[in-house]
Structure 1
Amino acid sequence: MSKQALIIIDIQNDYFEGGSFPLASPLEASINASKVLKYFRKKDLPIVHIQHLSPNGSPFMVTGTTGAEIHENVRPLEGEKIFQKNYPNSFRDTGLLDYLKDQEITELVITGMMTHMCVDATTRAANDFGFKCTVIGDACASRDLNINGKTVKADDVHHAFLSALEFFYADVISAEEFLSA
């Protein structure tokens, strides 16, 4: 029998307007993540919040700052599991894998930020660990990236990474598709 958990990755204040590292459309992504979160709460299904904390000297997500706090749209309730991490992969040097195994979770519904970094790294690792993964594409956000003097627009980065994940690692659907299934 399958058992599902929601993973909310790094939806933190620094990624929003006024933060130290704003993304493209983080508010919309957080609202869609919040809809999925409400569904999991209503069904009393497992919820895991991931919070990235950077070492001192980093430009964003610094421990003890407002920017590192989880955004109010998806703020954890008492009793919801929170893992703090220092790397893009939410499994690295955290208790996430052991927790999911202890809870007998087999499927993960993944939301969060940034699509091209922590969502990607965590989804690929989760699949490699044997979890069936669903990424809620419109509950994730990215930003413009630069390479070799060229700017790749956030929307293109976001969709390129989602399409790569859907090729093998996860089903990628919208919040509305998930909630109406």
Structure 2
Amino acid sequence: MKNKFKTILILGLIFISLITMNAQKQKMENTALLIIDVQNDYFPGGKMTLEKAEQAGEKTRKILEYFRKNNLTIIHIKHISTNEGATFFLADTDGAKINKLVLPKEDEKIITKHFPNSFRETDLMDYLQSNKIKNLVIAGMMTDVCVEATTRAAFDFGFSNTIIGDATATRNRELNGEVVKAAEVQRSFLAGISALGSLYARVINTNEFLSK
């Protein structure tokens, strides 16, 4: 009797595990990776260097490798500045090129934008809908500008968002003559966008994402 009960219990656990794995697989099939503005001008030697850009770029590369390995949807967002007085991400410059850490493959979607919000005046929404995407995993730069603007817009459009916190980066800001350190800006904006029970986005790190 005990052996029979044990067998039933094991079979039940296996069944639950298979259901869970299938649900996770289906969820990932409806998930896209959005890599925002990981471009040369943000890296050392560029015209708008961010703090820890290389570290964030390396984390983004790991997430990208996971999506490639599992044949999941990948979208690269590339910013080209068109506003008057712009000093970086200028068209036809090396600084505007996507960094080698996350260089797109030929079959990966690249969307060019001109505003912080990646949905504005681009075909991002059409592409997501055509691929039946419901969930976004977001990495990139800058945390408090294009990453935030895109994430909040994605929430308003009904997407479920996950930001890979250590795969994003920013720089020092200035407010009323006082410098706000990049680390503080980074922490504050990630805390804000994940507030109210991760309303706009769940924020996790690279290791957490890959371990799941």
Which category of TM-score, normalised to the shorter sequence, fits these structures? over 0.9
Which one-letter code corresponds to 2:45 in the other structure?
G
Separation in structure 1 between the aligned mates of residue 133 and residue 118 of structure 2, nearest angstrom: 16
- Of 115, 126, 129, 1:98 maps to 126
What is aligned with 1:47? 74
Q: Higher helix share goes to which structure?
A: 2
Shift of 1:57: 3.9
TM-score (norm 2): 0.84
Q: Which runs of 4+ in 1 moved over 3 A?
A: none
How far did 1:155 drift? Answer: 0.4
The SS at the match of 2:194 is: helix
**Match for residue 16 of structure 1?**
43
* Partner SS for 1:169: coil
**Structure 2 unpaired stretches of 5+:** 1-25
Which runs of structure 2 are paired with 1:12-161 in the superposition (5 Å)? 12-55=39-82, 57-161=85-189
Residue type of the partner of 2:204? I
What per-residue deviation string (whole Å, max 9, x for no partner) do you get for residues 37-87 of structure 1? 000000000000000000264110001000000000001000100000000
CA distance in 1, matches of 2:130, 2:43: 34
Q: Which amino acid in the other structure matches residue 119 of structure 1?
A: V
Offset at residue 143 of structure 1 (A): 0.4
* % same residue: 51
Residue matched to 2:209: 178
Q: Match for residue 11 of structure 2?
A: none
Q: How many residues align?
A: 181
Question: Residues of 2 paired with 1:145 and 1:58: CA distance?
Answer: 18
Deviations 1:83-142 (A, max 9, x none): 000000000000001110110000000000000000000000001111100000000000
User: Equivalents in 1 of 2:75, 2:108: separation in Å?
Assistant: 7
Larger Rg belongs to:
2
Q: Which runs of 5+ in 1 are unaligned?
A: none
TM-score by length of 1: 0.98
CA distance in 1, matches of 2:131, 2:193: 25
Task: Give the superposed CA RMSD.
Answer: 0.8
- Residue aligning to 1:165: 193
Task: Return the alpha-carbon distance in structure 1 between the equivalents of residues 109 and 73 of structure 2.
Answer: 8
Q: Which has the higher contact order (CA 8 A, sep 6+)?
A: 1
